[in-house]
Structure 1
Amino acid sequence: MIVYEYPFNERIRTLLRLEDLYEKFKFFVHQEHPMQHHVALATIFDMLEVAGRADLKSDLLQELERQKQSLLAFRSNPNVASDVVDAVLGELESVSANLVAAQGKTGQNVRDNEWLMSIRGRTIIPGGACEFDLPSYHAWQRRSAEQRYADIMGWFGPLAPLFDALALVLRLLRESGTPVKMIAVAGSYQQMLQGKVYQMLRLTVDERQGAIPEISANKYMLWVRFTTQGGDLKPKALEEDVPFDLTLCNF
């Protein structure tokens, strides 16, 4: 099964982009080749670009607090497992405290490092990180994999609380919805949303169908059109019925 996600607003779009970058970073930083560590470092620079919004940290703190208050209201409900609620509340408290303790602007430690900024300035240019452009960076890449890993994780460290927070927020958002089985007749599906506000859509489809959803949505209507790929990989309309699971997520 393949899961496709569609954000309904810029706020969730930013979180999903950062999550994607974090997954990429985690993969490459645990590799050993200098080129793989170069990608990990360049990914940190990309994170700074996406997370540059000054209000991202405060947005996450506000959302964590909203989730905390919502869960506290469930505590008195006899139909809710109190141990599960307490576990999530503990996680919310811990993540919030770590995010509050992260002083200064997101990634300021990287921005204050002149050496890293010189590398960032060159990596923007195609092929700009060659050894004749950045001999000191070339020398750093010749260090052992363990040393490079320690350096990169040290630079990433102050960013970790932000990514722990967004991971928790996205997890709670994904768990807020219930999958519903749908069928796109002749490859097309429409649903009126009656103005109800959602944060994200999750669509699950069997990969054996070769169906790729093109999604468009606002607070009034959801539209899904399935396409497929030929030998040239160019999308073309799929005219057969496509069963799929639809999950509308909202805090």
Structure 2
Amino acid sequence: MTNKITYEFPLNERIRVFIRLEQLFEQFNHFLNGASVWDKRAALNVLLDIMTIFSRNDLKSELLKELDRNGKALNRIAHSQGVDAEKLNQLLGEVSQTSKKLYASSGKIGIHVLESDLFQSIAQRSSIPGGTCSFDLPEFHYWLEQEEPIRLRDLQQWSSPFNDIRNAIDLILNLIRNSSDETREIAKAGFFQISLDRSQPYQLIKVSLDKSLRYFAEISGGKHRCTVRFMVPSHDEKRPLQSSDDVSFTLSCCQF
């Protein structure tokens, strides 16, 4: 386990949505692998959140644009000195294969999930606090009491249309996060400002500090300038305060 805690700050809406989905997919997998009724309830709630994001965004188009941009960026550095040609070709192959899978998918992603009467019922009642009790949805109660292989099969079937999307998001975010080396910085009296080159397509700021330090990083700003404030957590009802100490941390300005 790392002894550092990392705070990320996306610099555009596309990357915000990708990171939110990444977190939801990780949550879904966590609850999918749990065997209790509460795990399966939680997995379904996360799947509903995933579908809500998909209903509001043209994610397939956004992912294809980003993969195309990534492919072009990788090709530009193909002949640069010191580039690992084998690793580069592997990345280009992953980008190309992921794009092909997305292009091959037809129709609105995840729409078939709503063809399940059970899932539709759960989705309709989930907006009501406690609305999926056994007396509200006896069919859902019956499903929750089935053997684990049956519940697991259904959840895997409902989530399968999102697998290619998840793989694409993982690939894109991995390329972005590894596109910049860390630099050691000092936040004077808990404050640090970052000026970004407007000609570079920066997408993500990463701030890392030792877990033993009693601060958390609060990042704000936009694609041209960001500020980092190291705040001392509050242990009462007062708001957290900016540290008066100089704080050592590592910074990555990721673009790709």
TM-score by length of 2: 0.92
* Alpha-carbon distance in structure 2 between the residues aligned to 1:224 and 1:72: 34
Picking from 238, 245, 249, the partner of 2:243 is: 238
Contact 1:95 1:161 in 2 (8 A): yes
* Alpha-carbon distance in structure 1 between the residues aligned to 2:43 and 2:50: 11
Partner residue of 2:232? 228
One-letter code aligned to 1:243:
S
* Alpha-carbon distance in structure 1 between the residues aligned to 2:154 and 2:177: 34
Q: Provide, for residues 198-233 of structure 1, a one-character-per-residue CA deviation record: whole Å limited to 9, x for no partner.
A: 211000011111111111122332211111124337
> Closer, same or farther in 2 for the Cα pair 1:70/1:194, shift >3 Å?
closer
User: What pairs with 1:84-103 in structure 2 (closer than 5 Å)?
Assistant: 84-103=87-106
> Closer, same or farther in 2 for the Cα pair 1:220/1:77, shift >3 Å?
closer
Does residue 159 of structure 2 align to residue 161 of structure 1? no
Percent identity between matched residues is 35
- Cα deviation for residue 237 of structure 1 reads 2.3
> Closer, same or farther in 2 for the Cα pair 1:195/1:80, shift >3 Å?
closer
One-letter code aligned to 1:241:
D
Partner residue of 1:51? 54
One-letter code aligned to 2:243:
L
Picking from 67, 70, 83, the partner of 1:80 is: 83
* Alpha-carbon distance in structure 2 between the residues aligned to 1:225 and 1:75: 38
- Cα deviation for residue 126 of structure 1 reads 0.7
Tell me the C-alpha RMSD between the 2 structures: 1.6
Picking from 108, 116, 125, the partner of 2:111 is: 108
User: What pairs with 1:188-203 in structure 2 (closer than 5 Å)?
Assistant: 188-196=191-199, 197-203=201-207
- Cα deviation for residue 50 of structure 1 reads 1.3
- Cα deviation for residue 75 of structure 1 reads 3.2
> Closer, same or farther in 2 for the Cα pair 1:223/1:82, shift >3 Å?
same
Partner residue of 1:11? 14
Q: How many residues align?
A: 251
Question: Structure 1 residue runs of 4+, over 6 Å off?
Answer: none
Contact 1:212 1:226 in 2 (8 A): yes
**SS at 1:31 equivalent:** coil
> Closer, same or farther in 2 for the Cα pair 1:223/1:78, shift >3 Å?
closer
* Alpha-carbon distance in structure 1 between the residues aligned to 2:154 and 2:193: 50
